[in-house]
């Protein structure tokens, strides 16, 4: 990854930081791209004010973030930029390029908390009710959709799965998440059934032209290679439309639905955190708001003093 828009002496430290995140920390291409975009945007805005990243002051950074805010950048975008900048400066300190992090005390507006969209349990049943026995792509898609909802996978985690990661006899799947962290997840009965059917059909999508790196891929495309994130998104949209859900469904909504429905049933926030692979409990706590919405609906419909006449 390069940052050609920046002057070389600004771009080189960023490139070294990105290389570190990629090779030492195992960050995903999406995260690396986001960090690169944020730091490039900041560098382009600031390089005319001073000579390098290492002499920028806290006041200069604060003024620039204020300019970003006045230009219409959202609180969430500012938060992402600040996070990338803090991480970059922590790396710079570890390399002894400077001694203090000028981004540590940036004052930012709080991002609005938006609740993740989810499907109701009835909508999940509607989505997964299609017949998959006579169509290899439908068979594959049902296995993917069932696994998304059964185990709460991220899209990148699902497409990266290989055959050895699936342990159907143990009802488990091994997933490699953010930062190359592995976790084992349970696979539910319906997902196991759909996966067994897919494994019978899967060899038909293997061929002599299948890349060696994709021979073990759990999910294959009609091009006889590992299915891509874009193709998965397209298939999820296809089945949402086909099954009459009438909304823009994306794979992450199945993960959100998994988390919310599990929390409604169990009330175990820590357990949901472990299953989702969240490093911090605060990331998982957004689902408690969804759970409260569910409880409020139950209260309104069931409590004697709340029911509408």
Q: Which of 154, 226, 235, 256 is catalytic?
A: 154
Block residue for tokens 């994306």: 250
Catalytic-residue membership of 287: yes
Euclidean distance between CA atoms 192 and 143, whole angstroms: 8
Block residue for tokens 């084992």: 184
| Contact predicate 129/299, CB 8 Å | no
Q: Which of 278, 289, 294, 305 is catalytic?
A: 278
Euclidean distance between CA atoms 144 and 196, whole angstroms: 12
Euclidean distance between CA atoms 238 and 148, whole angstroms: 16
| Contact predicate 23/179, CB 8 Å | no
Q: Which of 22, 47, 86, 178 is catalytic?
A: 178
The CA–CA distances, whole Å, from 133 to 16, 195, 203 equal: 50, 12, 16
| Contact predicate 218/173, CB 8 Å | no
| Contact predicate 18/32, CB 8 Å | yes
SS3 content of the chain, % helix, strand, coil (to 5): 60, 5, 35
Block residue for tokens 């049933």: 265
Euclidean distance between CA atoms 36 and 146, whole angstroms: 35
Give buried/exposed letters for 165-204 (b at 16+ CB in 10 A, else e).
Answer: bbeeeeeebebbbbeeeeeebebeeebbebbebbeebbee
Catalytic-residue membership of 113: no
Catalytic-residue membership of 178: yes
Q: Which of 142, 255, 256, 261 is catalytic?
A: 255
Catalytic-residue membership of 133: no
Instruction: Provide the annotated active-site residues.
Output: 154, 178, 252, 255, 278, 287
């Amino acid at each position: 990854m390069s940052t050609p828009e920046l002057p070389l002496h600004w771009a080189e430290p960023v490139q070294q930081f990105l290389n570190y995140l990629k090779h030492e920390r195992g960050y995903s291409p999406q995260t690396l791209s986001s960090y690169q975009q944020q730091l490039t945007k900041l560098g382009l805005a600031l390089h005319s004010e001073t000579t390098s990243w290492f002499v920028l002051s806290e006041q200069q950074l604060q003024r620039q973030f204020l300019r970003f805010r006045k230009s219409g950048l959202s609180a969430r975008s500012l938060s992402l930029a600040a996070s990338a900048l803090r991480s970059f400066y922590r790396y710079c300190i570890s390399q002894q390029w400077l001694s203090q992090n000028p981004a540590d005390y940036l004052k930012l507006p709080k991002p609005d908390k938006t609740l993740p969209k989810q499907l109701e349990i009835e909508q999940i049943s509607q989505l997964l009710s299609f017949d998959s026995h006579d169509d290899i792509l439908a068979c594959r898609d049902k296995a993917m959709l069932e696994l998304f909802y059964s185990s709460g996978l991220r899209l990148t985690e699902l497409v990266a799965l290989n055959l050895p990661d699936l342990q159907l006899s143990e009802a488990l799947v091994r997933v490699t998440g953010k930062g190359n962290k592995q976790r084992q997840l349970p696979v539910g009965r319906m997902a196991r059934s759909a996966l067994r059917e897919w494994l019978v059909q899967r060899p038909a999508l293997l061929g002599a032209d299948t890349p060696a790196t994709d021979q073990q891929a759990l999910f294959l495309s009609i091009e006889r290679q590992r299915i891509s994130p874009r193709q998965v998104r397209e298939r999820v949209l296809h089945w949402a439309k086909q099954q009459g859900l009438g909304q823009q469904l994306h794979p992450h909504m199945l993960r959100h639905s998994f988390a919310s429905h599990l929390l409604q049933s169990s009330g175990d926030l820590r357990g949901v955190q472990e299953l989702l692979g969240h490093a911090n409990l605060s990331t998982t706590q957004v689902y408690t708001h969804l759970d409260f919405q569910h409880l409020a609906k139950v209260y309104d419909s069931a409590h004697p003093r709340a029911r509408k006449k």
